[in-house]
Amino acid sequence: MELEQKKFELYSIVLRYLCYKITENLRKIYLDVDFQSERIVLTAVYVNAPTELELELLDDIATNSNAPIPDFFVEAKVKLAPEYNENEKHDFLLFAFFDESRYDR
């Protein structure tokens, strides 16, 4: 199996655990796969510092994702919007908030 196909399968597994875990403060979640270290990193971008509940929800995504893929360790990182760089490269965008105000004219 090709690496890109395997990455997509991992993406599909993690994607199913986003339901009921998204808050208004969360703007994006990225997924990156490192086959050498057998790690999957979820990077969550928040507008404001996440609450304890939001951190628990993010941890739930990582923990639940890890169950069906025991060969990998799934971890979550948090970034605040001001720290986020639009030019960052990631394997997948799992979730993105659509901001209508950016497109109102």
* CA–CA distance, 57 with 4 (Å, rounded to integer): 28
pLDDT, tens digit, 9 for 90 and up, residues 57-84: 999 999 999 999 989 999 999 999 999 8
The confidence band for 24, taking pLDDT boundaries of 50, 70 and 90, is very high
Beta bridge partners of 77: 43
Judge contact between 29 and 43, C-beta under 8 A: yes
Enter the tokens of residue 28.
């994006």
Domains annotated for the chain, with CATH where assigned, are: 3-97 (3.30.70)
The pTM of this model reads 0.89
Enter the tokens of residue 73.
């360790």
Helix H or strand E encompassing 97: none
Whole-number average pLDDT of the chain: 92
